[in-house]
Amino acid sequence: SLSASELPDGALITVFQQEPMGLGHAIGCARSVVGDEPFAVMLPDDLILSDIPVMKQMVDAYAAAGGRGHMLAAQTVLPSEVHKYGILEVDTDAPSVGVMSVTSLVEKPDLSHAPSRLGVVGRYIFEPTIFEAIASQGGTVGGEIQLTDAICSDIVNVPVHGYRFDGARFDCGSAAGFVQANIAFGRQHHEVGPAIDQMLASGRPGIAAA
């Protein structure tokens, strides 16, 4: 079988998850192509607008933190949104931007049981130890294999870092978030940005003159 290290940079390999068995299972499907080196996971429904791409911020922070273990992007989420995210427990006050040491994490807790309001956002760097952790999650018949549980179980083996990023994040898995992302990214675009700004400033949709 092919492994990433045997291919030129930028080569694409597609792997399909044949059953909807959860995010952890989906990542496990890529085990044979990743090989034995740290790798990135990006969930495309989390779109982030930033001067420096968040994955680039994380690759630099990961190297600076020793180049070992796992790193998860995180941001503070609203209390009403806590139950939609993996939530981190960290051992220090979270910096506004930068690395935190994760002592535990829990998937989609009730606000009353949440260890913090630091929600995991879909950018990760993993050491291949995560594949063993995912493989040992199996068990619940018909259930999902949660990435969050696999990461949590691996804390005893490797350091797990949270990374508070600099950037505006959009949840493109919701209709409103998808439209908001289009507006925000569109405003930044040299060609279409002025037209979008003009429409927003006028308070009227469409292009007709008043």
Residues of this chain that interact with ligand G1P (CB under 6 A) are 23, 43, 46, 85-86, 107, 119-122, 147-148
Strand extents, DSSP E, 127-189: 160-164, 168-171
Nearer residue to ligand G1P within complex by CB, 20 or 139: 20
To which residue do tokens 């740290």 refer?
38
Q: How far is the CB of 124 from ligand G1P (least distance, A)?
A: 10
Residues 114 and 90: beta-carbon distance below 8 Å:
no
Distances from the Cα of 55 to the Cαs of 39, 61, 84, 114, 128, in angstroms? 11, 10, 22, 26, 18
Q: How far is the CB of 118 from ligand G1P (least distance, A)?
A: 10
Q: How far is the CB of 3 from ligand G1P (least distance, A)?
A: 26
Q: How far is the CB of 174 from ligand G1P (least distance, A)?
A: 10
Residues 61 and 99: beta-carbon distance below 8 Å:
yes
Nearer residue to ligand G1P within complex by CB, 3 or 174: 174
Nearer residue to ligand G1P within complex by CB, 107 or 154: 107
